[in-house]
Amino acid sequence: METIPFHKPFIGKEEQEAVLRVLNSGWLTTGIEALSFEKEFCQFLLENGSFQKSPVTKELFCLAVNSATSGLHLALEALGIGPGDAVLLPSYTFTACAETIRYLGAEAVFVDIGEDSYNINACELEKAIRAHTNNNSRNTLKAIIAVHFGGLPCEMTEINSIAQSHNLAVIEDTAHAFPAETPQGWAGTLGDIGVFSFYATKTITTGEGGMVLSSNAELARRISLMRNHGIDRSVWNRYTDTAASWYYEVIAPGFKYNMPDIAAALGRVQLGRAMDLLAKRISIAQCYDSAFKDSSVIIPPFPGGARHLYTIRLKQTDRRDAFIESLRSRGIGASVHFIPLHIMPYYRERYGLKPEDFPRSLQRYKETVSLPLWPGMSNEQIDRVIEAVLLLK
């Protein structure tokens, strides 16, 4: 029996040819492909969707990096986050959000998710801010990381309003949410900085990679500098500029976070397919929605967004692990998104947290299963997943 993987990248001849073009060019690291990918990513966001409808022209700066984790680190560093500071984020997310806060010596302040959502909740956000203030913490709240879980954008209008009232910066973790549109614009363009992921499982992929986006020129300059060792000239500029091409200055202790041209070439082709790949994801998700709507499993609470994940919830939480194993025995891959960070040993012990401290995140973890959802799935594969879920429900 053929195994249906949880995910399989949608890679075609054009992607292969793009990578071979770079391999044959003699230039493999950050260069013209990465620069073109940044420009085309900005153009995509500015020329499609809500930006076209808006009377306000928004300048965007897009900076390619080697992972979304690097992007989060750069975003926090650019905002001046450091020792003595604290950053709000959902417990229901991947460890990259919290670990990058710790890289800088700052502290993570976890927030629960909404009652019918997987996203950070505005009421819980206000509650966390009040609790932090009332506890007279020595750490000053400086920012919020809003994670767009599964491709569904957070309620950014409410989050931005809270941020403004408390003088907090907003970073959008848009790893799951490209391309996801809201009435205000694309997810990732609505806070101070947006961070996108092009990891192998994401909606478009470069294998490993990411993009950091901001409309703030000062933040963009800092991110651009720090992603390349704090050197004042890019490697592409140094090797192609005939005037003093060898000379550069280190003006900050930066990082090695640039995206190579091999990855960028793959990303450019994937970017050109983005809306078609989204349509395929939506079609598969709609098949699942239709099949499961009257079953005993709870379907995702959102019909829109980028449909990166298709998460069902089991009403009998004690059966979740057995359910996943039963799917696997039938040749169907499944996963769990996410194990809440507040029950992870490091964060549990550092902050003295208990599982019940974030009850919605804990409950969602216990009942959630992520099903296969990738653009190349055949009708037969979709039907097999549906049949197995309905049989095991």
Active-site annotation, residues: 202
Exposure of 76 in the CB half-sphere (CA atoms within 13 A): 33
State yes or no: cis peptide before 41, omega within 30 of 0: no
Q: How far apart are the C-alpha atoms of 46 and 49, rounded to whole Å? A: 8
Give the distance, in angstroms, between the CA of residue 154 and the centroid of all CA atoms in the same chain.
12
Burial class (CB in 10 A: 0-12, 13-18, 19+), 22: buried
3-state secondary structure (DSSP) of residue 297: coil
Q: How far apart are the C-alpha atoms of 393 and 391, rounded to whole Å? A: 6
Q: How far apart are the C-alpha atoms of 77 and 300, rounded to whole Å? A: 34
Task: Locate 273 and state its tokens.
Answer: 């397919």
Q: Are the C-beta atoms of 63 and 258 separated by less than 8 Å?
A: no
Which residue intervals of 227-316 are DSSP H helices? Answer: 235-240, 261-272, 274-292
